[in-house]
Amino acid sequence: MVKTKPLMTEFSVKSTIISRYAFTTVSCRMLNRASEDQEIEFQMQIPAAAFITNFTLLIGDKVYQGEITGREKKNGDKVKEKRNKTSEDNGEKGTDMFRASIVIPSKDKAAFLLSYEELLQRRLGKYEHVISVRPQQLVGRLMVEVNILERSGIESLEVLPLQHSQQKDSGRGKGECDRRVSCANSERGVGFREIYKTEGTPSTKAPRAGKNLRGSNTTKTKDALFRILHDLRPQDHFNIIGFSNRIKVWKDHLVSVTPDSVRDGKVYIHHMSPTGGTDINGALQRGIKLLNDYVAHNDIEDHSVSLIIFLTDGKPTVGETHTLKILNNTKEAARGQICIFTIGIGDDVDFMLLEKLSLENCGLTRRVLEEDDAGSQLIGFYDEIRTPLLSDIRVDYPPASVEHATRTVFPNYFNGSEIVTAGKLADSQAGRLHVEVTASNSQRFVLLKTDVPLEPHQAGRGGGAEGRNHVERLWSYLTLKELLSSWRHSGDEREKQRLGQSARTLAVARGFLTPLTALHLRRRALQTQQLEDAR
């Protein structure tokens, strides 16, 4: 006897991006054709940087509205909700999987409605918006709709449709671009992605510290390191450190970039071979010492940047293995003068340690899954950080003009990236806002001053999420990200509790699902319009 599975009649995604802040709503409609009740699971892969803001169920004539509350140990909801982390990175190119399972009565219908929000990040001069659609079965109607409202104008737009071909559009002169893609009867997992650009160099000293990698990624990783060495500039200085149960340093000092040194560095990398153990603390200490010695004994530019690119596929097993001691040793040695960028490959890494190392030392971190191409990921990461244009950036406003500003001090600004701050105007009727930005580059101290004209807030189009005050939502998003980051990495228990409470209160008030909040479903009266929509 063949069991009749529930039919997915529609799977649709609508995303509205207003000044790089994206509101996305997913709708999935199911029909139980069987003569008995059946359990079904809804799942949606969402960006790791996103916060879920709503989840609603419609089962027959019943509506279960999602409510964000402070997290409790017990959960008696009828719907099981999971966010399983599949990849993490601090700028967050990974994804989370949202899952919810319910029982649909015989011959009845159900609808899942999921909403989430995120701030798109500028990388290499572009913004990338990814929507992953994996219905896991044939769909009667599959639709993805994206609306982009961009005040600064769109220089170029590239859309990868549901079919695996590429399509490019150009949207010059207008600040708004709509794109609608539809596909019927698809049972494959598909990806929908838009990449768009809006309109609008110091020397580096960098030891590359890399653990000898195992497995199929080794050759690709070495090829990526060859490319990185090839791309170094004549004013740069570098070294290479391999670490396992022993630490092997290519040279006893930083080497200037010449054709010969690049060639010799490639030969050294080519002959590196995997061995056991991982001495993370020792490798970092050696790399920091190389940089500090170079700075102490050479007449260098005041505003040059010292950085370490740290690559590993293992946890600390040799030398100092205690996480807190490794962090303290690194911070004490670097003295805030060295930026550490970390890359963890595979499932065996202590990613929390790598994230803290970067966070505490003005860097970034990335995670590469075992099945990913580590070489291309490494090259992409290096391309992001290879050109630090400014350091020690500070954004200032006149006293009492801005309240509750998000982060205003940044260690570095890299070519093709973006710095975002948000806050509340003390005077909502003000016509202009004075902004001063101070920073350093390789030649001089930089002071930028400007008066920004202010316009009355205009909500986005429509009555849904895009109609909200996206700037206020952006402020909540950034503030919550900062609170959660500080909460995760705080070593003081009292301070950790204070940060956690602040994050929890804000998340509940603004309706963000976080590690400190929970999503509960409450049954409420069903409106006629909702019933019609569900059908």
pLDDT for res 333: 93
pLDDT of residue 200 exceeding 80, the answer is no
The class that CATH gives domain 7-200+516-534 is: mainly beta
Name which residue leads in pLDDT, 74 or 351: 351
Q: What is the DSSP string of 15-49?
A: EEEETTEEEEEEEEEEE--SSS-EEEEEEEEEETT
pLDDT at 413: 86
Q: How far is residue 416's CA from residue 414's CA, in Å, rounded to a whole number? A: 6
Residue 90: the pLDDT is 39
Location of structure tokens 């973006």:
418
**How many Å separate Cα 134 from the centre of its chain?**
21
Sheet-wide strand order for 388-396 = 409-414, 388-396, 432-440, 445-453
| pLDDT single digits (tens) 74-106 | 444 434 444 433 333 333 445 688 888 888 898
Contact present, 237 and 257 (Cβ < 8 Å): yes
State pLDDT tens for residues 436-479: 999 987 677 889 999 988 876 554 444 444 545 888 999 999 99
Q: Per residue in 364-407, pLDDT tens?
A: 888 887 666 777 778 888 888 877 788 889 999 998 899 899 99
Task: Please check the confidence at residue 41 and state whether its pLDDT lies above 60.
Answer: yes
- Residue 202 has what pLDDT? 46
Min mean pLDDT across 231-235, 299-303, 408-412, 414-418 is at: 299-303
d(CA 334, CA 393): 19
Structure tokens at 358: 């970067």
CB-based contact 44:98 (threshold 8 Å) = yes
Q: Parallel, antiparallel, or unpaired for β 432-440 and 388-396?
A: antiparallel
* Cα separation, 207 vs 236, whole angstroms: 11
Per DSSP, the residues of 353-398 read HHHHHHHTTT--EEEE-TTS-HHHHHHHHHHHHS-EEEEEEEEE--
Helix axes 351-359, 470-489, angle to 10 degrees: 110
Beta bridge partners of 391: 412, 440
| CA 99 to each of CA 42, 44, 135: distance values in angstroms, whole numbers, following the listed order | 6, 7, 12
CB atoms within 10 A of CB 27: 18
CA distance 330 to 360: 9
Residue ranges per structural domain of the chain: 7-200+516-534, 204-386
CATH of 204-386, one of 3.50.50.60, 3.40.50.720, 3.30.70.270, 3.40.50.410: 3.40.50.410
Largest CA distance in the chain: 82
CB 514 within 8 A of CB 488: no
* pLDDT bucket at 330, cuts 50 / 70 / 90: very high
CB atoms inside a 10 Å sphere around CB 398: 11
Residues present in the chain in total: 535
